[in-house]
Structure 1
Amino acid sequence: MTGYRVTRKQRVLFLCRDNAALSILAEALLRELDGLHFDAFSAGLEPADKVHAAALGELRHGFSSLELLNPKSWLEFTSEWAPQMDFVVTLCDESARVDMRAFHGRPQLLHWALTPSARSAAGAFEYAFWQILKRVEDFIAAQRRPWPSLKLPAVAPCAPDACDLLMSGQ
């Protein structure tokens, strides 16, 4: 079919130090809000053993992909078989210092400086969740590529006699 093209999803990697909370929240939110246009991943410089319980608590209601969330090393995304990223979003100052040349292609680097919360630990996760949600929504609005428009072939109108035959079931 000429004139048609397939648009692949844009790949986004969220990086943080331990990949247990902030980057996990960002991955889950992007996947849930616009998984049709974006493939979301997360990783850490020094990955934790498991996802922080408070981060999962923020995501537990209404998120379909919680079983996909697990801490992993950013080095998994630099190997020769790793998918090429379109965006790498850093969520802490430590991850912002990663050498972008380690990634295949030329992903666009974004840094989301999050405002720390003066609240309790539990309140801090909720505060971070809402900050990341706003950033993800803004990211989707700014970076989503529209799907290619479908070009249907022109259909000649049917002759009155042929339309009558179709309508009568003969």
Structure 2
Amino acid sequence: MSENMVKVLILCTGNSARSIMAEALFNILGQGRFKAYSAGSHPNGKVNPYAIEQVAAIGYDTSALRSKSWDEFAQADAPQMDFIITVCDNAAGELCPVWPGKPIAAHWGFEDPAAVQGTDAEKRAAFKRIFQQIESCVAQLVALPLSQLGPDTIRQHMQAIGQKQQEQAS
């Protein structure tokens, strides 16, 4: 696989929190080697303000963030993805569109911080915790020598990252 520019699509049902944070983390931690996008099967139309706080804190430009449908990325003129990563169990179980180019797919399940009830401080804490979990997974993937690995090996690494995350979250 070429490391010139690895394109990643991160999917979640609402595309308001986890997938948004993962998009920003790939674009920051990937240091120009990765271009990430996010989308949802049923986008709720707005980005969660606590997710915006998390990505702004790492210096990510939040002005273009928006909650969008995964249909945008299934079009013939859409960027061809190398990787598709689902970050919520609902999106992982849904029938996805056919993605051009047969990207490598994996599931990295994270608890939904937007579902946390409580004070602003409790919600912020939940978003920070999930943000850190996503950051760990993204850091592991961007550290791989992708140009030296075949698709099956990359798929195994991506699945192992997701499995390790699930075990740590349990």
TM range (shorter): 0.7 to 0.9
Pairing partner for 2:69 from 64, 73, 77: 73
1:16 and 1:134, CA in 2 relative to 1: closer, same or farther beyond 3 A?
same
Using a 3 Å threshold, how does the CA distance of structure 1 residues 36 and 127 change in structure 2: closer, same or farther? same
Match of 1:43 in 2: 39
Q: What does residue range 49-128 of structure 1 map to in structure 2 within 5 Å?
A: 49-99=45-95, 102-115=98-111, 120-128=122-130
Contact between 1:16 and 1:23, CA under 8 Å: does it hold in 2? yes
Describe the shift of the 1:144–1:73 C-alpha distance in structure 2 as closer, same or farther (beyond 3 A): same
Secondary structure at the aligned position of 2:16 is classed as: coil
Tell me the amino acid that sits aligned with residue 147 of structure 2: R
The residue aligned with 1:8 is 4
8 A Cα contact 1:37 1:144, kept in partner:
no
Find the counterpart in structure 2 of residue 136 from structure 1: 138
Across the aligned residues of Structure 1 and Structure 2, the Cα RMSD in angstroms comes to 2.2
* Equivalent residue letter for 2:137: R
Task: Give the direction of change, closer, same or farther, for the CA distance of 1:129–1:93 in structure 2 (3 Å limit).
Answer: same
More helix by share: 2
| Identity score, percent | 35
Q: Check whether the contact 1:21–1:52 (CA below 8 A) recurs between aligned residues.
A: yes
Please list every run of 5 or more consecutive structure 1 residues that lacks an aligned counterpart in the other structure.
1-5, 147-170
Structure 1 pair 61–122 and aligned structure 2 pair: CA distance change class (3 A): closer
Give 1:143 shift: 5.6
With normalisation by structure 1, the TM-score equals: 0.74
Alpha-carbon spacing, 1:101–1:55, altered in 2? closer, same or farther (3 Å): closer
From the superposition, tell whether residues 45 and 107 of structure 1 become closer, same or farther in structure 2 (CA, over 3 Å).
same
Q: Which amino acid aligns with 2:127?
A: F
TM-score w.r.t. the length of structure 2 is 0.74
Deviations 1:106-134 (A, max 9, x none): 11111102256788322211111100010
